[in-house]
């Protein structure tokens, strides 16, 4: 029994066939037909005719809408739809400060908006490098989530020993620390409810014959520091002003990011690790900077994930055409490379003997084009990539754009079955 229902032999056979198509692509074997992925976020609100805010805060409603979409479109793999869209209560519970979301900082029908700020100062590199956990507890967490305000008063734990432990824990009696711990426990209880709904949904979809594409996400070491600590402006300055410390932190981050990803994927039982890639595109840094600062630590992560028996799935945002020759330096038959705007035919020419590909129907075409144009775009990818030997998992550039007309999504799935056999 899975998700409250029994998986019939027919559903199990359908599940196994769908998952096998994706795994055949990963292993560079030709599947029985071109698999198709489904990764919507707030498009589900458009599909159901409700606001994005409603999708964020209604666990049961979101699960029902997501199930209806999966059953209608019959994807080979779907994203963790509840995790992607029903996080409002959890975000509020921790008092998250790095993001605006529908009904919280932006309008009820507006998508996520990241708040790019300098959450770690340049002079704090040494502190983070020396004691990452202490920096997290006393500096970083209170800056990014209100539930942790008060952790600034926690004791410095390295160095406590023997009778020093007695005096060292006095800080836990401070009203500020006690209040923060109570807020964190309460927030954790809400996050547990959120996680339970995600698990219930993915188990139910599995019982109905539909695998989830991934349940674990990660980030490249460079993007981790640029996005969530230094901010865009600070990180670009660090390429020139703090080169050595940045490289040292990239090395350290690659270790603990890898540990997080491996632990999460192994606990979930799903081997695919989704890694949105933000700062690698051609326009963001020179080839030399990419080869010095971005790629080495990320490649170590990829190899670590592969060595752990997992399947990295970087989502290369924007145009990464100039990176293709460099990023092919991975073991063949172990990764999925998802491309947003990189020409997929060119990606196939360079990478087709190394990685499976995913993507990459244009967002502008999906949102403003006609069903006939969607049909033609799918046919182009099927004929010029999949049927020429490319192991392509068809999808949109970065999931289904929120504004996409429902008839265009139907055209995408219909065309995938028409041309992908």
> Hey, what CATH class is 9-123+178-419 in?
alpha beta
| Token output for 335 | 């990764």
The continuous run of DSSP H or E covering 276 comes out as strand 272-277
Phi-psi region of 200 (alpha: psi -120 to 50; beta: other; left: phi over 0): alpha
- DSSP 8-state code for residue 31: P
All structural domains of the chain with their residue ranges: 9-123+178-419
Residue 32, burial from CB neighbour count under 10 angstroms (0-12, 13-18, 19+) = exposed
Average pLDDT over residues 15-36: 98
Q: How many CA atoms lie within 13 A of 381 on its CB side?
A: 32
The mean-pLDDT minimum among 3-7, 52-56, 68-72 falls in 3-7
CB 257 within 8 A of CB 245: no
Non-local (6+) Cβ contacts of 372 within 8 A are 411
Q: What percent of the chain has pLDDT over 70?
A: 99
Closest CA to 200 of 212, 183, 189: 212
| Angle at which helices 406-419 and 59-73 cross, to 10° | 40
166 vs 156: CA distance, rounded Å: 13
pLDDT at 2: 56
Non-local (6+) Cβ contacts of 227 within 8 A are 114, 116, 219, 278, 279
pLDDT at 6: 87
Residue 349, burial from CB neighbour count under 10 angstroms (0-12, 13-18, 19+) = middle
**What is the reported pTM?**
0.97
The continuous run of DSSP H or E covering 320 comes out as none
Closest CA to 341 of 392, 384, 382, 396: 396
User: Does the pLDDT value for residue 200 go beyond 70?
Assistant: yes
Query: Which residue is associated with the tokens 């426990």?
Result: 185
CB 52 within 8 A of CB 108: yes
Average pLDDT over residues 66-89: 98
Q: What percent of the chain has pLDDT over 90?
A: 98
pLDDT at 5: 77
Name the CA radius of gyration of the chain, rounded: 22
Confidence category of residue 1, pLDDT binned at 50, 70, 90 = very low
109 vs 122: CA distance, rounded Å: 36
Non-local (6+) Cβ contacts of 241 within 8 A are 122
| Token output for 378 | 């799918």
407 vs 405: CA distance, rounded Å: 5
* Average pLDDT taken over every residue of the chain: 97
286 vs 47: CA distance, rounded Å: 41
What digits encode the pLDDT tens for the residues 137-192? 999 999 999 999 999 999 999 999 999 999 999 999 999 999 999 999 999 999 99
**Angle CA(63)–CA(64)–CA(65) in degrees, nearest 5?**
95
Average pLDDT over residues 339-364: 98
**Angle CA(268)–CA(78)–CA(116) in degrees, nearest 5?**
80
What digits encode the pLDDT tens for the residues 115-142? 999 999 999 999 999 999 999 999 999 9
Phi-psi region of 142 (alpha: psi -120 to 50; beta: other; left: phi over 0): alpha
| Token output for 294 | 């971005």
């Amino acid at each position: 029994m899975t998700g409250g229902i029994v998986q019939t032999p027919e559903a199990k056979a359908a599940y196994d066939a769908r998952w096998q198509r994706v795994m055949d692509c990963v292993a560079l074997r030709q599947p029985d037909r071109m698999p198709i992925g489904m990764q919507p976020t707030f498009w589900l609100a458009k599909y159901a005719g409700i606001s994005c805010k409603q999708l964020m805060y209604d666990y049961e409603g979101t699960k029902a809408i997501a199930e209806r979409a999966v059953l209608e479109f019959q994807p080979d793999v779907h994203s963790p739809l509840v995790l992607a869209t029903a996080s409002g209560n959890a975000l509020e519970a921790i008092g998250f400060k790095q993001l605006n979301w529908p009904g919280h900082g932006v309008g009820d029908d507006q998508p996520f908006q990241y708040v790019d700020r300098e959450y770690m100062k340049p002079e704090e590199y040494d502190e983070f490098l020396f004691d990452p956990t202490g920096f997290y507890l006393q500096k970083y967490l209170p800056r990014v989530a209100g539930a942790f305000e008060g952790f600034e008063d926690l004791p410095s734990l390295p160095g406590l020993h023997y009778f020093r432990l007695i005096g060292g824990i006095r800080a836990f009696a401070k009203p500020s620390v006690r209040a923060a711990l109570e807020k964190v426990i309460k927030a954790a209880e809400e996050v547990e409810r959120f996680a339970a709904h995600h698990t219930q949904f993915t188990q139910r979809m599995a019982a109905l014959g539909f695998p989830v594409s991934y349940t674990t996400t990660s980030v490249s070491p460079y993007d981790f520091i640029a996005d969530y600590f230094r901010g865009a402006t600070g990180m670009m300055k660090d390429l020139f002003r703090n080169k050595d410390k940045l490289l040292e932190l990239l090395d350290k981050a690659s270790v603990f990011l890898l540990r997080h990803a491996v632990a999460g994927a192994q606990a979930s039982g799903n081997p695919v690790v989704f890694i949105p890639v933000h700062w690698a595109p051609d326009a963001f840094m020179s080839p030399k900077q990419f080869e010095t600062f971005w790629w080495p630590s990320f490649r170590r992560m990829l190899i670590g994930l592969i060595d752990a028996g997992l399947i990295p799935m970087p989502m290369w945002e924007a145009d990464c055409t100039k990176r293709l020759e460099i990023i092919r330096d991975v073991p063949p038959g172990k990764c999925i490379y998802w491309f947003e705007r990189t020409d997929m035919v060119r990606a196939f020419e360079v990478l087709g003997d190394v990685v499976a590909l995913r993507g990459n129907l244009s967002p502008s075409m999906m949102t403003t084009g006609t069903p006939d144009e969607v049909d033609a775009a799918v046919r182009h990818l099927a004929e010029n990539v999949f049927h020429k030997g490319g192991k392509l998992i068809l999808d949109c550039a970065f999931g289904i754009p929120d504004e996409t007309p429902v008839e265009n999504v139907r055209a995408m799935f219909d065309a995938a079955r028409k041309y992908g056999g």
